[in-house]
Amino acid sequence: MTAAEFEPGQVQRVLARHRPRRGEPIFRGLVVLASLTVLLVIAGLILVIASQSIEGIRHNGVAFLWGTTWDPVHSIFGALPFIYGTLLTSFTALVLAMLIGVGVALFLVEMAPPWLAGPLGFMTEMLAAIPSVVYGLWGIFVLAPWLRDFVEMPLHDTLGWLPFFSGNPIGIGNFAAVVVLTIMILPTVAAVSRDVIRAVPLAQREAALALGATRWETIRIGVLPYARSGILGAGILGLARGVGETMAVTMVIGNAPTISLSFFSQGYTMASVIANEFTEATTDLYRSSLIEIGLLLLVVTLLINAAARLLVWRASYSAGSRSLLA
């Protein structure tokens, strides 16, 4: 096509033909519809869960929240062991995954040579692609026996007088669940932290280096404070995954509704009890009580997210942490 073929005004005439843009309202309608769908699904979900759990709420009352007995045969339903199990395993796993994940992220961004950072980052993300039932299988057949023989036994023998290490070290239990959860949360925390740390301006690192900071000092004063709110965000995403994780945890936690400080004790989580007992819920009340646990799980997740958002907001808004704490 040569430029000379166009006459003056031709482009304007072509543009004029396209004036009535019918695509605009269609596009607008489609995106509005898409967002309404999300709202409808969430509203419907909450409505169904709430209405289905009404029978349980009526029968169990508020004591559902702190009742420790789960006895479907005698229609006694207390959800505390499940709440405890969920919070204990996810928060412990979160702490461990944050320590390892932020370490991995710092290594990938700040230290690893490119030929290592690429494959290592990819492998970390691969951890997220492994189906959770496979983690469960690995947990039962590999991790639990190994933990029993090489971690729990020695701990029990030496530090058994502490409440955390008392009880029967059989491998299956809270500890195994925490380890599996940590591995499952890790890729989320590491990948998000890596992106956040990578986004810290070079100028921040140079500011620290130019003051005579070593590599670690540069990370401490130039990189981590800047990335703080983003790393917190990474933790929230990880926690959300940990709280809701069902299959792998169900397979290794032991499924006993007990509340114990011991790492070796068997436990139960909200997600696990729903998955395990749904088929056995022969009475309407039993079924309704399980759905009530589902409702509770939803509320706990919302609370965690709200608290976390507040935390991130405070960290990013009040830029001066020291003045905040002082």
Partner 1 sequence: MTLMTDQTANPAAAAPVPVPGARAIEVADRADVSVEHAAVAVEIEHLDAFHGSHRVLRDITLTVQPNSVTAIIGPSGCGKSTLIRCLNRMHEVTPGARAQGRILLDGQDIYAPGVNPVVIRQRIGMVFQRPNPFPTMSIYDNVVAGLKLAGVRDRALLDEVAERSLRRAALWDEVRDKLHAPGGALSGGQQQRLCIARAIAVEPDVILMDEPASALDPISTLRIEELIDALRASYTIVIVTHNMQQAARVSDRTAFLTVGDDRAGYLVEEGPTPQMFTNPRRQLTEDYISGRFG
147 in Cβ contact with 174 (< 8 Å): no
Beta pairing, strands 70-71 & 76-77: antiparallel
Cβ of residue 113: shortest distance to partner 1, in angstroms? Answer: 9
Cα separation, 91 vs 310, in Å, equals 17
The single residue listed with the structure tokens 């702490």 is 95
Looking at the Cβ atoms of 205 and 241, the one nearer to partner 1 is 205
Binding site for partner 1 (CB under 8 A): 114, 201, 203-214, 217, 221-222, 225-226, 228, 318-323, 326
Looking at the Cβ atoms of 8 and 114, the one nearer to partner 1 is 114
Q: What secondary structure does DSSP assign to 232-291, as a single string?
A: HHHHHHHHHHHHH--HHHHHHSB------S-SSS-B--HHHHHHHHGGG--SHHHHHHHH
C-alpha count within 13 angstroms, C-beta hemisphere, residue 297: 27
Cβ of residue 189: shortest distance to partner 1, in angstroms? Answer: 21
Looking at the Cβ atoms of 157 and 206, the one nearer to partner 1 is 206
Cβ of residue 176: shortest distance to partner 1, in angstroms? Answer: 39
Q: Which helix (H) or strand (E) holds 77?
A: strand 76-77
Looking at the Cβ atoms of 13 and 322, the one nearer to partner 1 is 322
Name the amino acid, one letter, at 135. Y
Cβ of residue 326: shortest distance to partner 1, in angstroms? Answer: 7
Looking at the Cβ atoms of 117 and 140, the one nearer to partner 1 is 117
